[in-house]
């Protein structure tokens, strides 16, 4: 895993832990983080570009499903 991803993973883990210590919900914290990432992207990327980025990530989620075959 690239260094950038490790740094971000550690930061997100610390962010969630800190919020949970304050009684905040993990799902709400992660949703807020996602909103802030999109807001940061909007500072220098077009909405179309952001949409493509998010669509790419959504497509990766769909890759978790096994391919459909005739024997399925």
Q: How does residue 72 score in pLDDT terms, banded at 50, 70 and 90?
A: very low
At 32-63, the pLDDT tens digits run: 999 999 999 999 999 999 999 999 999 988 77
Q: How far apart are CA 53 and CA 72, in angstroms?
A: 31
Count other C-beta atoms under 10 Å from residue 38's C-beta.
Answer: 14
Decide if 34 contacts 53 (C-beta within 8 A): no
Q: How far apart are CA 3 and CA 69, in angstroms?
A: 37
Decide if 65 contacts 44 (C-beta within 8 A): no
State pTM to two decimals.
0.76
């Amino acid at each position: 895993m690239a260094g950038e991803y490790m740094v971000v993973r550690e930061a997100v883990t610390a962010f969630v832990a800190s919020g949970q210590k304050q009684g905040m919900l993990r799902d709400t914290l992660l949703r807020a983080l996602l909103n802030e990432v999109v807001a940061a992207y909007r500072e220098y990327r077009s909405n179309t570009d952001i949409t493509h980025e998010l669509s790419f990530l959504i497509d990766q989620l769909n890759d978790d499903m096994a391919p459909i075959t005739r024997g399925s």
